Structure 1
Amino acid sequence: MKYGVIGAGAMGVRYGVMLQENAGVDVDFIDTWEPNVEKIRSQGGVSVARDHQNRRIVPVNIFYPEEYKGHPDVWIIFKKQMQLAEEMERDSKAGIFHEDQYVFSAMNGMGHFEKIAKYFPENHIICGTAMIATRMDGPANIDFMGAQGDEVMHMARYTNEKPDATTQAIFNDFKEAKLGPVFADEWKGMCMSKVVFNAVTNTLCTMFEMQMGQFIEYSGVREMSRQLFDEAYDACERAGIYLIPTRQEQVDSVITVSKEYKYHYPSMYQDFSKGRPTEVDYINGYIAKVGREHDYVCRTHEFVVHEVHMAEMMRKYHKPQTNVADAKKEGVRV
């Protein structure tokens, strides 16, 4: 199988490089962020480390959409939610999509599969989630977080049908790449399980500018998590969406995952700290939207959305705090 990765950011590079190096498959990268594309080309590849260690240059093939002439079997899409519609339109106009291709995405938030379905047959869309922490510290500069072998992801077809031959082949490549794939029976509950998790860790860590390990130092974390999870589960159940973990398992996972990635700032904070818009509207905001559509008001989630946007506004008055792990690595006293 040949893969094309749309979005050579943190997760796009992680998937593409692991497929290329561990599964030995051909991978091309498509990106529209000029500083990233040009830095990759000038340094002969993407700079990759794992937990700040063993940084190296991994040679990759990267293209702007308009110059790409390849025909991968599968597209892997990792863009920010607010950028996806424009990206898909540009890629479509460049003529890089074909009817025989499959597409996989494990983006944060919800709403992306409806956009992808405008360009691909529904039975060629594979939905995914990834409990895989990755950082992009600058153009062509990626850090894989977590020990090798800790990667876990889920995947399910957009039609909720059983895996066909191509889907199984993609699963096999992901397994060979050591991405830790697991099949799920139904995509919406699978994806909402990750959204609901992110609605606690990503959002609260961003508001208070905390690493995940700092977050769980607070004695009230379980109570705060349970309040947000209960609202989310109540909304999803009213909508007929049933999540994979139980409520208690979600609460427990906040602690276990945060211990594993204790020096990690979630992706929402990475955007926040660099002055970019966050995806809170596609995470907590999406949960609140599901609730409103089914006569249930997720008051805490709605309040949290306002708090994150207020924190975004406050960036004009003070800079986000220094990443403690980076400061220690560089010998800066914090």
Structure 2
Amino acid sequence: MKIVVIGAGAMGLRYGVLLQEAGNDVHFVDTWEPNVEAIKKNGGVTVWRDGKDERFAEISVSYPEEYHEEPELAIVFIKDMHTVETMERCKHFISKNTYVMTNQNGFGGAEYIAQFVPRERIIAGTAMIATVMKGPGKVDFIGKRGAGHVHIVRVEGEPNEFIYKVAAEMEKALMNPTVQKDYMGTVWTKLVFNSVVNTLCTLMNMKMGEFAAYKNAKEMSRKLIYEAYEAIDAEGFKMEVTRDELVDQVMYVSQVGNPLHYPSMHQDMTTNRPTEVDYINGAIVRLAEKHGLQAPYHSMLVDLVHLKEESRKYQN
């Protein structure tokens, strides 16, 4: 399959490198100049697995304006708040036959992409795969090979031949894909998961396993998840799992799956980038308010993350 990955950051590199090694024709486009120039200079990226087993992966990269081929699939891995401006720079190579897939963290990425691509040609989804960008052209794949999993779903319409073709390529790459049928349920299940571990690990400057080791971690998770589900139930979304199943999933992934991982929001905070809290916890607050409900736990977390963002300018 001919694939272009839009965003050669941590997750973009994880997807693209694995899919390339599975036999696909993969090219990367990125807008972060230090990253693009480092990859061009070296002819690829340095890859670690859990901080060990360093290796080099040859890849090709360019700025959006330099790429003029027509991919079958474009995979978008950029921050939600940058989706529209990046898609503007990439729209010239998104043909009428190109599908666009996003596994971005928050809620909004697919909706922004729909300004450029028909909804029936957008594949959304979630990734339970942890990856860390260690610097320009340097990436660390967290977790054993084949340990994570991916859910993919068409934004509009039933699963078709193409989404199963994508799933087959992901299977070859040991990404353990599952094709889902409910777009909102799939995306919001991961969003609520992220609203716990992403946000709390960022605020407390801790790894997922360190969070899970706290005696009240499960109760904190339960409060946040139950509050989110009140809004979700009011909207009528059909989630992939029950409230208690998601609580257990948060604890299991934190304790067993990725205990040494700093979530992506933490990585943004420590590298002085804006976080996606408005697209995660903030999305829950907005959904609650839509139905005349309150989400005080999530509202407080939004303010605390933004306060921590502000605090960075006072640090030496």
Q: Does 1:49 align with 2:48?
A: yes
2:114 equivalent in structure 1: 117
SS of 1:12's equivalent? helix
Deviation at 1:251, TM superposition (A): 1.0
Structure 2 residue aligned with 1:247: 243
Q: Is residue 106 from structure 1 mapped to residue 103 from structure 2 by the alignment?
A: yes
In structure 1, the partner of 2:155 is: 158
| Residue 32, structure 1, aligned to residue 28, structure 2 | no
1:242-293 CA-to-partner distances (Å, cap 9, x unmatched) read: 2111111111112111122111111000000011111000000001101101
CA separation in 2, counterparts of 1:226 and 1:242?
19
Query: CA–CA distance in 2 between the matches of 1:318 and 1:127?
Result: 38
Q: Partner of 2:64 in structure 1?
A: 65
Is the 8 Å Cα contact of residues 5 and 12 (structure 1) preserved in structure 2?
A: yes
Runs of 4+ in 1 over 6 A off after TM superposition: none
1:284 lines up with 2:281 in the alignment: yes
1:302 maps to 299
CA shift for structure 1 position 91? 1.5
State the one-letter code of the partner of 2:62.
F
Deviations 1:26-50 (A, max 9, x none): 0011111110010001112011111
Give deviations 1:117-150, integer Å, cap 9, x for gaps.
1111111111110000000011111000001111
Equivalent residue, structure 1, for 2:136:
139
Distance 2:66 2:276 in 1: 30
TM-score, normalization: structure 2? Answer: 0.98
Residue 2 (str. 1) matches residue 10 (str. 2):
no
1:189 deviates by 0.8
- Give the SS at the match of 1:285: helix
Which amino acid in 1 is paired with 2:193?
Answer: F
Q: Is the 8 A contact 1:129 1:190 kept in 2?
A: yes
Distance 1:214 1:285 in 2: 25
Unaligned runs of 5+ in 1: 320-334
Aligned to 1:316: 313
Match in the other structure for 1:323: none
- Secondary structure of the 2:93 match is coil
2:190 corresponds in structure 1 to 194
* 1:103-129 deviations in Å (ceiling 9; x for gaps): 111000001111111111111111110
Displacement, 1:192? Answer: 0.3
Cα distance in 2, alignment partners of residues 281 and 145 from structure 1: 26
CA contact (8 A) 1:78 1:106 kept: yes
* Cross-structure match for 1:179: 175
Counterparts of 2:170 and 2:4, CA distance in 1: 14
1-side partners of 2:232 and 2:151: how far apart? 19
Paired residues of 2:43 and 2:60 also in contact (CA < 8 A): no
Q: Is the 8 A contact 2:12 2:76 kept in 1?
A: yes
TM-score (norm 1): 0.92
Deviations 1:209-268 (A, max 9, x none): 111111112111111111100110010010111211111111111211112211111100
Report % sequence identity. 45
> Aligned residue for 1:324?
none
**Do the aligned residues in 1 keep the contact of 2:163 with 2:179 (CA within 8 Å)?**
no
SS at match of 2:147: coil
Distance 2:163 2:150 in 1: 15
**Partners of 1:146 and 1:261 within 8 A in 2:** yes
How far did 1:317 drift?
3.2
Q: Give the conservation status (yes or no) of the 8 Å contact 1:44–1:57.
A: no
1:197 CA displacement: 0.4
Aligned residue number for residue 19 of structure 1: 19
CA RMSD of aligned residues (A): 1.0
Q: Residue 316 of structure 1: CA displacement?
A: 2.6
Q: Structure 1 counterpart of 2:116, which letter?
A: Y
Contact 1:202–1:268 (CA under 8 A) maintained in structure 2: yes
How many pairs does the alignment contain?
315
Moved more, 161-170 or 48-57: 161-170
How many Å separate the matches in 2 of 1:63 and 1:47?
Answer: 17
Distance 1:235 1:253 in 2: 20
Shift in Å, 1:80: 0.5
1:42-78 CA distance string (max 9 Å, x none): 1120111110111122111111111112111010000
Q: 1:207 is aligned with what amino acid?
A: L
